[in-house]
Structure 1
Amino acid sequence: MIHANFLLENKYSEELYHNFAKKMPIIDYHNHLPPEQLATNHGFDNITQAWINGDHYKWRAMRTLGINEKYITGNATDAEKFEKWAYAVPYTMRNPLFHWTHLELSAYFGIDELLSPKSSNRIFEETQAKLQTQEYSSRGLISKMNVEFLCTTEDPTDNLEHHKSLAKSDFTTKVSTAFRPDKSILIQNEGYNDYINSLSVAADSTISTFNELCEALKNRIAYFHENGCRLCDHGLNQLYKIDYTESEVAAIFSKKREGKVIGFQDAQKFQMALLQFLSETYHEFGWVQQFHLGALRNNNSRMHQILGPDTGWDSIGDFKQAEGLSSFLNGLDATDQLTKTIIYNLNPADNEIMATMIGNYNDGSVKGKVQWGSGWWFLDQKNGMIDQLDALSNMGILSTFVGMLTDSRSFLSFPRHEYFRRILCNLFGKEIQSGELPNDMEWIGKMVEDICYNNAKEYFKF
Structure 2
Amino acid sequence: MKEGSVIPEDFLLYSKQAKALYHDYAKDMPIIDYHNHLPPNEIAENKKFKTITEIWLKGDHYKWRAMRAMGVDERYITGDASDLEKFKAWAKIVPAVIRNPLFHWTHMELKNPFGINKFLNEDSAEEIYHHCNELLAQDNFSTQGLLKGFNVVMVGTTDDPTDSLEYHKTLLNSDFSIKVKPSFRPDKSLIIGDAGNYRAYIAKLSQASGVDIKDVDSLVAALRNRIEFFAEHGASISDHGLNTVPSKISLTAAQKEEFKKFLAGAVDSFSDVDAFAGYVLTEVSKIYHEKDWVQQFHLGAIRNNNHGQMKRLGPDTGYDSIADYPQAQSLSNFLGNLSLEDQLAKTIIYNLNPADNDVFATMIGNFQDGKTRGKMQFGSGWWFLDQKDGMEKQLNSLSNMGVLSTFVGMLTDSRSFLSYSRHEYFRRILCNLLGNEMENGQIPDDEKWIGKIVQDICFNNAKNYFNL
TM class, shorter-length = over 0.9
Q: 1:10: which partner in 2? A: 15
When structure 1 is superposed on structure 2, of 185-194 and 167-176 the one drifting more is 185-194
Q: 1:53: which partner in 2? A: 58
Question: Which letter does structure 2 place at the counterpart of 1:280?
Answer: K
The DSSP-based 3-state class of the residue aligned with 1:142 is: helix
The residue correspondences of 1:351-390 to structure 2 (distance < 5 A) are 351-390=357-396
When structure 1 is superposed on structure 2, of 242-251 and 160-169 the one drifting more is 242-251
The residue correspondences of 1:124-143 to structure 2 (distance < 5 A) are 124-143=129-148
The residue correspondences of 1:282-431 to structure 2 (distance < 5 A) are 282-431=288-437
Question: Which of 182, 189, 195 in structure 1 is aligned with 2:187?
Answer: 182
Unaligned runs of 5+ in 1: none
Asked if structure 1 preserves the Cα contact closer than 8 Å seen for 2:214 and 2:264, the reply is no
Q: 2:24: which partner in 1? A: 19
Task: State the 1:189 CA deviation.
Answer: 4.0
Q: 2:205: which partner in 1? A: 199
Question: Which letter does structure 2 place at the counterpart of 1:423?
Answer: I
Question: Which letter does structure 2 place at the counterpart of 1:155?
Answer: D
Task: State the 1:307 CA deviation.
Answer: 1.8
Asked if structure 1 preserves the Cα contact closer than 8 Å seen for 2:249 and 2:278, the reply is no
Q: Deviations over 1:359-389 (max 9, x none)?
A: 0000111000010000000010100000000
The DSSP-based 3-state class of the residue aligned with 1:245 is: coil
Question: Which letter does structure 2 place at the counterpart of 1:327?
Answer: N
Question: Which letter does structure 1 place at the counterpart of 2:276?
Answer: F
Q: 1:213: which partner in 2? A: 219
Task: State the 1:245 CA deviation.
Answer: 3.4
When structure 1 is superposed on structure 2, of 227-236 and 265-274 the one drifting more is 265-274
Q: Deviations over 1:259-313 (max 9, x none)?
A: 43435x6001101100110000111111100000111011112211222221101
The DSSP-based 3-state class of the residue aligned with 2:296 is: strand
Unaligned runs of 5+ in 2: 1-5
Task: State the 1:258 CA deviation.
Answer: 3.6
Asked if structure 2 preserves the Cα contact closer than 8 Å seen for 1:249 and 1:269, the reply is no
Q: 2:3: which partner in 1? A: none
1:93 aligns with 2:98: yes
Q: 1-side partners of 2:255 and 2:33: how far apart?
A: 36
Q: 2:450: which partner in 1? A: 444
Task: State the 1:23 CA deviation.
Answer: 1.2
Q: Deviations over 1:382-418 (max 9, x none)?
A: 0000000001001100000000000000000001000
Question: Which letter does structure 1 place at the counterpart of 2:302?
Answer: L
Task: State the 1:257 CA deviation.
Answer: 1.4
Q: 1-side partners of 2:124 and 2:212: how far apart?
A: 58
Q: 1-side partners of 2:459 and 2:18: how far apart?
A: 18
Question: Which letter does structure 2 place at the counterpart of 1:365?
Answer: K
Q: 2:441: which partner in 1? A: 435
The DSSP-based 3-state class of the residue aligned with 1:109 is: coil
Question: Which of 257, 260, 267 in structure 2 is aligned with 1:254?
Answer: 260
Q: 1-side partners of 2:92 and 2:249: how far apart?
A: 54
Asked if structure 1 preserves the Cα contact closer than 8 Å seen for 2:381 and 2:391, the reply is yes
Q: 1:242: which partner in 2? A: 248
Q: 2:177: which partner in 1? A: 172
Q: 1-side partners of 2:247 and 2:240: how far apart?
A: 17
Task: State the 1:88 CA deviation.
Answer: 1.7
Q: 2-side partners of 1:219 and 1:398: how far apart?
A: 37
**How many pairs align?**
461
What's the TM-score, normalizing by structure 2? 0.97
What's the TM-score, normalizing by structure 1? 0.98
Q: 2-side partners of 1:170 and 1:439: how far apart?
A: 44
Asked if structure 2 preserves the Cα contact closer than 8 Å seen for 1:240 and 1:324, the reply is yes
**Aligned alpha-carbon RMSD (Å):** 1.1
The DSSP-based 3-state class of the residue aligned with 1:118 is: coil
When structure 1 is superposed on structure 2, of 153-162 and 265-274 the one drifting more is 265-274
CA separation of 1:439 and 1:243: change in aligned 2, threshold 3 A: closer
When structure 1 is superposed on structure 2, of 252-261 and 369-378 the one drifting more is 252-261
The DSSP-based 3-state class of the residue aligned with 2:368 is: coil
1:228 aligns with 2:234: yes
Q: 2-side partners of 1:392 and 1:295: how far apart?
A: 21
